[in-house]
Amino acid sequence: MEKKDKDIFDRIMSAKIWGPLGPFYFKNKEVLLYLFFGGLTTVVSIASYYVAYKICGINVLIANIISWIFAVTFAYITNKIWVFDSKAKGAKAVLAEMVKFYTGRLATLVVEEAIILVFDTLLHFNSMIVKLVAQIIIIVLNYVISKIFVFKKN
């Protein structure tokens, strides 16, 4: 990889201070960045939800939708630039990519809602455990959808 091809994360992880973590990073870069930006996406989601619901007093369901829009937009941008290194150029290609990304995220939102409906609402399992298990499933599904359908390499 030439210096000009390295993104900021590659340059950071190329530093000698990382020792054996550098090769591990380069071998697993996509998954590690996906998890890193997924964590930041969660922060964006919670922060925007808090602002909408607690500070602005917006209805809880509307606040959740606003939060979802902010989080998915942040996830699209970071996944496009750093995680999957999308080469889509031009308005038409980027718009098509965005539509696929948002559609995939809507699909996994439906899956998550179904999991919560069945295991929490109908079967009365512990809601926090259900949410945690649902999140693990959704993270994996979102990665697969992004890798195979949205940011696939030609």
- Tell me: the pLDDT tens digits for 47-97? 999 999 999 999 888 988 999 999 999 999 999 999 999 999 999 999 999
CA 81 – CA 87 distance, rounded (Å):
9
Which residue segment(s) compose the domain that 145 sits in? 88-154
> What is the rounded distance in angstroms from the CA atom of residue 31 to the CA atom of residue 133?
19
Q: Would you tell me how many other CB atoms lie within 10 Å of the CB of residue 113?
A: 11
- Checking if the pLDDT of 15 tops 70, the result is yes
Work out how many domains the chain is built from and give that number: 2
Domain final residue, candidates 58, 85, 112 = 85
146 and 110, same structural domain? yes
Residues 31 and 92 in one domain: no
* Domain final position from 64, 85, 106: 85
Contacts of 25 (CB under 8 A, 6+ apart): 9, 13, 18, 32
- Residue 110 banded pLDDT, cuts 50, 70, 90: very high
